Amino acid sequence: MSEFDAARDPLTAEGQPLDVEVTPAASEEAAGAGQPEPAVDDLTKLTGELEKVGTELGYAKAEIANIRRNSLARIDQAVASERASVVGKFLDVVDDLDRARAHGDLESGPLKALSDKLSGVFGGLGLVAFGDEGDAFDAELHEAVQMEGDGGNPVLAAVLRKGYRLGDRVLRTAMVTVTDGEPAPPESEQ
């Protein structure tokens, strides 16, 4: 070691090592003279705060997940509602095409192509027609404008206007006449 290095080294004085003994008692006095170690108290306090913040973070994450789920559900409902509204506005056009088909005007020609394309589009959207003669009467799906018989076993006698459903939503009830049909067989025979 050079003279310059020896002068800078605190453990040596004039090139000779200092003769200093460090005891555990001396290190405790230097740390705080008998006071409890602040590091343990701080660690306990910080651990408690960390657990509290972790719990709050879990609650915040759950709340965000709930908000997201509810928002997506509302968006899905709004989309379904608007889709039903738009498709519902075309039901009169579908009725006109059904009448033209029944009259024989859609057997060939440009109207047949238009009718087929519209039917394909509405079918792709999930539009389903219901209400056929002989079906059991259901007040949720059918609007009865005429009733014949005592109503013991009501069935559809004639369908004046088809009903339509888009998914689970009924867009329009079927306008029908109702008559008594054959009594339903007992459930044991079915």
Per-residue pLDDT tens digits for 37-85 = 667 788 899 999 999 999 999 999 999 999 999 999 999 999 999 999 9
Tell me the pLDDT of the chain averaged across its residues: 82
pLDDT of residue 28: 53
The radius of gyration of the chain from alpha carbons, rounded to an integer in Å, stands at 43
Helix segments in the chain, DSSP class H: 3-8, 24-31, 38-89, 91-103, 110-125
Residue 87 pLDDT class (50, 70, 90 cuts): very high
Question: How many percent of the chain have pLDDT more than 70?
Answer: 76
**pLDDT tens, position by position, 139-177:** 999 999 999 888 788 999 999 999 999 988 999 999 999
User: Looking at residues 4-21, what average pLDDT do you find?
Assistant: 53
Distance of alpha carbon 88 from alpha carbon 171, whole angstroms: 6
Distance of alpha carbon 190 from alpha carbon 177, whole angstroms: 27
Strand partners, 93: none
Strand partners, 170: 165
Q: Hey, how many other C-beta atoms are within 10 angstroms of the C-beta on 110?
A: 7
Residue 21 pLDDT class (50, 70, 90 cuts): low
Query: pLDDT higher for 13 or 92?
Result: 92
Domain ranges of the chain: 37-87, 90-125, 127-190
- Report pTM: 0.61
Distance of alpha carbon 171 from alpha carbon 80, whole angstroms: 12
Asked if pLDDT for residue 90 goes beyond 70, the answer is: yes
Q: Which fold has domain 127-190?
A: Nucleotide Exchange Factor Grpe; Chain A, domain 2 (2.30.22)
Give the phi and the psi of residue 159 in degrees, each rounded to 5.
-110, 115
**pLDDT tens, position by position, 103-135:** 888 888 888 888 899 999 999 999 999 999 989
